[in-house]
Amino acid sequence: MNRSAWGGVGFTLPALLWILLFFIGPVLLMVAASLHPLTAAGVPSPQWGLGAYRAFFSQPAYVQALIDSVVTTIVVTVLSTVISYPFAWSIACVVPARWQRLALIMAILPFWTSYVVRSYAWLLAISPVGLVNKALLALHLIHRPLMLAYNPHATELGFVHFFLMLNTLTIYASLKQINPRYELAARDLGASSWRAFFGITLPLSMPGVATGAFLTIVLTIGDYVTPQILGGFRQLLLPQLIMMQIQRQLDLASASAMSLILTAIVALAYLGLQRWLRLSRL
Amino acid sequence: MKTLTLFASLYMALCYLFIFLPVVVLVLFSFQAGNLPVPPLKGLSLRWYLAVFHDARLMGGFGHSLVVGVVSSALSVLLGFLAAYGLARYDMPGKRFIRGIIMLPMAVSYLLVGMGLLVSASALGAAPGLPTVIIGHVVMNMPLAFAICLAQLGEHQRRIEYAARDLGAGTLRVLLTITAPMIAPTLIAAFCMCFTLSWDEFLIAFLNTRFDVTLPVVIWGLLRGGLTPETNAAGALIFLISIGLMLAVEILLLRKRRA
C-alpha cells in the first residue's frame, strides 16, 4: 500500500471503528447472550446451548407470532408497493414538470409527524367515536360505528400509510432516472403504450420498487409501536413478544434469540431483493 | 390520454386524502376546546398548547431529545463526512467492503441496534441513559450522512483541492478550509436530516433509558393515560419543528443543485 492509501484508511477509520464497536460488537454479544439460556433459577446458564432457540420453536404461541409477523410484513409490503406505484407514476408522468416537486413534497409531508404520534392519530381517526365513523354515520352509509381499531387490519393500515409515502419517494426517484426516449423508441417501433410500459418503464423502475420494498420489510418486521397502539391484544407480533421478554421476564437470552431470528428473516429478504437494491443511492 | 389523466388525478386525490387524514385529525383536535380529541369540536382554543408548555415531563423529554439529536447528528455528520472524503479521494484496497460495513446498519431494524446496546450495557454493567441512546443514533444515522456526503463529493471540488495543494496547503488545511466550506450546505442538510430522525426515534431510546427519557418515550407514557388533546398539541408541535427542518434541507440542497 502506498502513502495515499493509508491516508484514505485514516479518514474512514473513525466511522469503521464506531460501527465495529457499537454495532457489530454488540450484535456478537447478543449472539453470545442468546446461547446462554436462562436456567430455572432465572440466571444465564454458564454452559453454551441452543435452549433459547429450542424454547422459541417449541412454543406454538411464539411460532404463531413469527408467522403473523412475516404475513403482516408481506401484506404491508405488497399493498404499499401496489398502491404507491400508480401514485408515483402519476406524479412523475402526469403532473406537469414544474409542479412535480411540490406534488412529491406534499405526498411525503406527513412522513415527518412523530413516529409514536402517527399511530395515535390513526387511532383517533378510526376509533368508534372518531372522525371516520362520525363522517360515515352523517352520510348515512352506516348505522352503527364500525370497529376499525384494535385489530390486525388497523396495524396494517397504520403501516401502509407510512410506507405508501416512503415507496412513493423511492419509486418516483427511480422513474425520473429513466430516459424518456427509451419509451418513445419502443412506441416508434410499434409497441402499444401498455407494452412500452411493461417492457421498458416497469423493469427499469425496479431498483426503486426493490429499495422501497426492502426498507418496508426492515422497518415493518422490527416495529413495536404500530401493532402495540393499533393492533389490540388478540394478535401479538414478534417485537411485542421481545419487549415482553425484556420487561416482564427479564430474559435477555430469549429476547436476543428472537431478535436474531427476526434479523435472519430480514437477511433473507435482502438476498431475495439484492440484484435490484441501491441502498446507497437513496 | 384524456381519460388516463382523469383517472390519474382521481387516484392522486384519493392518495392525498389517505395520506393527510391522520395529520388533519391530529392538528384539528389539538385546537379542541373540550376535553376529548374526538368529534364534536366544541370550539377552538389554545389551552392544550399551553398545557404542553407547562407539562414538566414533556418539556424535560424535549430537552433530552434536543441534546440527543444535536450530539448524535453532529457525530454522525463528522464521521460520515470523513469516511466519505476518504473513499472519494483516496485509492485503497477493499473500498466496496469498507462501504458495505459503513452502510450495514441501514439494512437492519432499530430493534437489533437497540437490543445489541441493551445486552452490551447489561453485560458491561453500564447504567442505561442518554449516552447509550446517542451511540445508537449515530450507528443508525451515520450511514445516511455518509451516503449524502459521498453523493456530493464530485470532480468539481477535487480540482480546487488540487489547486490548494499545489499552493502548499496540507491535507488537513485543504479539508478544513476548502472541502468542508464548499459542501457546507450538504453538511447542514445531512445534520438536519439526522436530527429529525434522531429526536423522534423511539425503540433505541425506549430500550436504553430509564429516568432521563426522550420526548417520544414521554409521549408513549402519555398514551397510556388515555386520549387527551394535549397529546395532539404535542404531536402538532413536533410535526411543525420537523417540517421546518426538512424545508431547510430542501432549500439547502435545491440551492446547491442550481448553483
Contact state of A124 with B29 under an 8 Å Cβ cutoff: yes
Contact state of A266 with B29 under an 8 Å Cβ cutoff: no
Banded model confidence at residue A236, pLDDT cuts 50, 70, 90 = very high
Residue A21 one-letter amino acid = L
Asked if the model's pLDDT at residue A1 lies above 50, the reply is: no
Chain A contact for B171 (CB, 8 A cutoff):
yes
CA–CA dist B102, B79 (Å, integer):
10
Q: Can you say whether the dihedral through the CA atoms of B249, B254, B255, B256 is positive or negative?
A: positive
All structural domains of chain B: 55-258 (1.10.3720.10)
Asked if the model's pLDDT at residue A127 lies above 50, the reply is: yes
pLDDT (tens digit per residue) in B56-65: 999 999 999 9
Mark B105-140 as b/e (b = at least 16 C-beta within 10 Å): bbbbbbbbbbbbbbbbbeeeeeebebebbbbbbbbb
Chain B contact for A247 (CB, 8 A cutoff):
no
Q: What is the DSSP letter of A38?
A: B
- Which residue in A2, A3, A17, A22 has the most chain B C-beta atoms within 10 A of its own C-beta, making it the best mutation to test that interface? A22
pLDDT mean over A56-66: 94
pLDDT mean over A15-36: 95
CA–CA dist B117, B203 (Å, integer):
12
pLDDT mean over B147-163: 86
Most confident segment among A125-134, A254-263, B84-93: A254-263
Of A199, A117, A212, residue with least CA distance to A160: A212
pLDDT mean over B18-44: 91
Asked if the model's pLDDT at residue A100 lies above 50, the reply is: yes
Of residues B52 and A42, the one with the higher pLDDT is B52
CA–CA dist A91, A110 (Å, integer):
17
CA–CA dist A173, A158 (Å, integer):
24
Chain B residues lying within 8 Å of A22, measured CB to CB? 117, 135-136, 138-139
Radius of gyration (C-alpha) of chain B in whole angstroms: 23
pLDDT mean over B27-31: 94
List the single residue in A5, A94, A164 with the smallest CB-CB distance to B5: A94
Of residues B252 and B213, the one with the higher pLDDT is B213
List residues bridging with B32 in a β-sheet. Answer: B44
Give me the residues of B, 90-109, that contact A with CB < 8 A: 90-93, 98-99, 101-109
Q: For A178, phi and psi rounded to 5 degrees?
A: -80, 130
pLDDT mean over A49-67: 93
Cell numbers placing A181: 426516449
Of residues A46 and B75, the one with the higher pLDDT is B75
CB A242 within 8 A of CB A260: no
pLDDT (tens digit per residue) in B167-209: 988 888 888 888 888 889 899 999 999 999 999 999 999 999 9
Percent of the residues in chain A that have a pLDDT greater than 70, as a whole number: 96
Mark A97-117 as b/e (b = at least 16 C-beta within 10 Å): eeebeebbeebbbbbbbbbbb
Chain A residues lying within 8 Å of B41, measured CB to CB? none
Give me the residues of B, 139-158, that contact A with CB < 8 A: 139, 142, 144, 146-147, 150-151
Q: Which of A37-51, A145-159, B34-48 has the lowest mean pLDDT?
A: A37-51
Mean residue pLDDT of chain A comes to 90
Of residues A237 and B39, the one with the higher pLDDT is A237
Nearest CA in chain A to B133: A22
Asked if the model's pLDDT at residue B5 lies above 50, the reply is: yes
Contact state of B227 with A103 under an 8 Å Cβ cutoff: no
Give me the residues of B, 37-66, that contact A with CB < 8 A: 37-39
A181 Cβ neighbours under 8 A, 6+ residues apart: none
Chain B contact for A219 (CB, 8 A cutoff):
yes
Å between B185 CA and nearest CA of chain A: 18
CA–CA dist B98, B84 (Å, integer):
11
Nearest CA in chain A to B85: A11
CATH node for A58-281: 1.10.3720.10
Asked if the model's pLDDT at residue A2 lies above 70, the reply is: no
End-to-end alpha carbon distance in chain B = 37
Q: What is the pLDDT of residue B100?
A: 92
Chain B residues lying within 8 Å of A246, measured CB to CB? 118, 207
Q: What is the pLDDT of residue A6?
A: 75
Any idea which residue has 407539562 for its cell? Answer: B55
Chain B contact for A218 (CB, 8 A cutoff):
yes
Q: What is the pLDDT of residue A279?
A: 62
Radius of gyration (C-alpha) of chain A in whole angstroms: 23
- Listing DSSP states for chain B in one string gives -HHHHHHHHHHHHHHHHHHHHHHHHHHHGGGBSSSSSSSS---B-SHHHHHHHH-HHHHHHHHHHHHHHHHHHHHHHHHHHHHHHHHHH---TTHHHHHHHHHGGGGS-HHHHHHHHHHHHHHHTPPPSHHHHHHHHHHHHHHHHHHHHHHH--HHHHHHHHHHHHTT--HHHHIIIIIHHHTHHHHHHHHHHHHHHHTT--HHHHHH-SSS--HHHHHHHHHHT---HHHHHHHHHHHHHHHHHHHHHHHHHHHHHH-
The angle at the Cα of B77, spanning B71 to B78, to the nearest 5 degrees, equals 90
Count of beta carbons in the 10 Å neighbourhood of residue A146:
13
Contact state of A112 with B16 under an 8 Å Cβ cutoff: no
Chain A contact for B26 (CB, 8 A cutoff):
yes
pLDDT mean over A165-173: 94
Give me the residues of A, 89-108, that contact B with CB < 8 A: 89-91, 94-95, 103, 105-107
pLDDT (tens digit per residue) in B86-142: 998 888 888 889 999 999 999 899 999 999 999 999 999 988 899 999 999 999 999
Q: What is the pLDDT of residue B252?
A: 82
Cell numbers placing B185: 450546505
Mark B18-56 as b/e (b = at least 16 C-beta within 10 Å): bbebbbebbbbbbbbeeeebbbeeeeeeeebbeebeebe
Cis peptide before B93 (omega within 30 of 0): no
pLDDT mean over A146-154: 91
CB A112 within 8 A of CB A166: no
Q: What is the pLDDT of residue B124?
A: 92
Cell numbers placing B230: 394535549
Percent of the residues in chain B that have a pLDDT greater than 90, as a whole number: 64
- Listing DSSP states for A255-276 in one string gives HHHHHHHHHHHHHHHHHHHGGG
List the single residue in B116, B147, B239 with the smallest CB-CB distance to A282: B147
Q: What is the DSSP letter of A200?
A: I
Of B181, B17, B200, residue with least CA distance to A118: B200
Nearest CA in chain B to A107: B16
Contact state of A19 with B111 under an 8 Å Cβ cutoff: no
Å between A263 CA and nearest CA of chain B: 7
End-to-end alpha carbon distance in chain A = 32
Q: For B87, phi and psi rounded to 5 degrees?
A: -75, -35
Max alpha carbon distance in chain B (Å)?
A: 72
Å between B46 CA and nearest CA of chain A: 19
List the single residue in B16, B116, B123 with the smallest CB-CB distance to A27: B116
pLDDT (tens digit per residue) in B166-178: 898 888 888 888 8
Asked if the model's pLDDT at residue B257 lies above 70, the reply is: no
- Listing DSSP states for A70-103 in one string gives HHHHHHHHHHHHHHHHHHHHHHHHTS-HHHHHHH
Chain A residues lying within 8 Å of B85, measured CB to CB? 11
Mean residue pLDDT of chain B comes to 91
Q: What is the pLDDT of residue A280?
A: 54
List the single residue in B19, B83, B103 with the smallest CB-CB distance to A107: B19
Q: Which of A79-83, B154-158, B237-241 has the lowest mean pLDDT?
A: B154-158
B98 Cβ neighbours under 8 A, 6+ residues apart: A12, A16, B83, B87, B92
Å between A15 CA and nearest CA of chain B: 5
